[in-house]
Amino acid sequence: MTESGGVSAVTDDHALAADLAGTAGRILLGVREEVGFADSRVLKDTGDLRSHEYLMAALAERCPGDAILSEEGRASVTDARAETPTANTADEVRLQADRVWIVDPLDGTREFSEEGRRDWAVHVALWEKGRLTAGAVALPAQGRTLVTGPDGAIVADVTGTEPLRVTEPAVGLLRIAVSRTRPPAFVRRLAEVLDVNVELVPIGSAGAKISAVLLGEVDAYVHAGGQYEWDSAAPVAVALAAGAHASRIDGTEAVYNRKDPRLPDILVCHPVSASTLLTGIRDVSDALPE
Ligand SMILES: Nc1ncnc2c1ncn2[C@@H]1O[C@H](COP(=O)(O)O)[C@@H](OP(=O)(O)O)[C@H]1O
Ligand SMILES: [Mg+2]
């Protein structure tokens, strides 16, 4: 077993995603130790940068022919990363590529900078010819990594691995995870129109929220109002492998590796809850994407 969360040999893209996300997660735990929590800006920036640099270098070395779409790899950050010239982060490259790694080196940056919080993640997903084929969400402060596999999804921690399968919600109750800081404007109305008791559960990080759905800690994740492909690609890859429903909030497929990486809304839940939630969201109709 490696320190990165239970995967002993990098034999395929699933294991590679887990290894990369887990190792980046350990780097981030080290940054928290080294930098401390006194200056949250410094802690966030150092975490973003170190995780990004590791992931770009590791992908350039281990998958030199693959393209990368990364939160930290865009715009001015790309210019500052001239030391990793073999990382194919240019949009022209990824839009022509068969294999694109969609990476968020630190999701839940705010929570990462708050002492004691465990809701932050590292996302590593692989997109191949139009669909997500592998993904890992490392939850370093929780000591576990959720990963796709050839036969579904698994959760790995220091004790080993367990199959990961989304479970049905309890009758009459729906616990919906929402952003701590930017919950969708319509969620309170959604809670009112649904025919069950709804508990809104604020959690940081899209990856941590989708993981909470898959681990049975909440029943759904609803987000709207803004997000990017890297915020949801890896957790959606794992969610689909774990048998969950994952879509845009209008029910259409979440499509990745587009020219414009904005992907502003997402719904993840057990399939039995999907039509109830999609109908409820439609009923509070100004919530739907344009
Ligand atoms: N309205 C919005 N516009 C852009 N990004 C958003 C957003 N709401 C949430 N996000 C992004 O989605 C991730 C999860 O957010 P939240 O914890 O609020 O649910 C965060 O990623 P990062 O931490 O990688 O920046 C955050 O920046
Ligand atoms: Mg993010």
Residue 89 covered by a domain: yes
Question: How many C-alpha atoms does 145 have within 13 Å on its Cβ side?
Answer: 36
- Could you tell me if 186 and 252 lie in one domain? yes
CB 94 within 8 A of CB 129: no
Domain that residue 224 falls in: 173-287
167: helix, strand or coil:
coil
CA of 2 to the centre of ligand 1 (A): 30
Residue 3 covered by a domain: no
Which ligand does the CA of 180 lie closest to? 1
CB 226 less than 6 A from any atom of ligand 1: yes
Sheet (strand 220-223) strand order: 197-203, 173-179, 220-223, 266-269, 245-247
Task: Give nearest CA residue, ligand 1 atom 14.
Answer: 205
- Could you tell me if 155 and 209 lie in one domain? no
Residue 1 covered by a domain: no
Task: Provide the ipTM.
Answer: 0.99
Q: Which of 227, 229, 262, 268 to mutate to test the pocket of ligand 1 (most atoms within 8 A of CB)?
A: 227
Any idea what the CATH number is for the domain that residue 120 is in?
Answer: 3.30.540.10
Type and span of the H or E element at 270: none
CB 182 less than 6 A from any atom of ligand 1: yes
Task: Give nearest CA residue, ligand 1 atom 22.
Answer: 107
CB 113 less than 6 A from any atom of ligand 1: no
Q: What is the pTM of this model?
A: 0.93
- Could you tell me if 180 and 159 lie in one domain? no
Residue 261 covered by a domain: yes
- Give pLDDT tens digits for 190-212: 999 999 999 999 999 999 999 99
Residue 289 exposed, middle or buried by CB count within 10 Å (0-12, 13-18, 19+): exposed
Question: How many C-alpha atoms does 91 have within 13 Å on its Cβ side?
Answer: 7
Any idea what the CATH number is for the domain that residue 224 is in?
Answer: 3.40.190.80
- Could you tell me if 140 and 190 lie in one domain? no
- Could you tell me if 17 and 148 lie in one domain? yes
- Give pLDDT tens digits for 124-177: 999 999 999 999 999 999 999 999 999 999 999 999 999 999 999 999 999 999
Beta strands, E only, 62-216:
67-70, 99-107, 121-128, 131-139, 144-149, 152-157, 160-164, 173-179, 197-203
For position 11, what pLDDT does the model report? 63
Residue 4 covered by a domain: no
**Alpha helix locations (H) across 175-250?**
187-193, 206-214, 229-241
Ligand 1, residue 120: give the atom nearest the CA. 23
Domain finish residue from 163, 194, 210: 163
CB 179 less than 6 A from any atom of ligand 1: yes
- Give pLDDT tens digits for 84-101: 445 787 888 999 999 999
- Could you tell me if 158 and 23 lie in one domain? yes
- Could you tell me if 130 and 197 lie in one domain? no
Residue 168 covered by a domain: no
Domain finish residue from 163, 198, 218: 163
Ligand 1, residue 204: give the atom nearest the CA. 17
Cross-strand pairs, 103: 70, 124
- Could you tell me if 189 and 159 lie in one domain? no
Domains contained in the chain, number:
2
C-alpha span between 21 and 14 (Å, rounded):
11
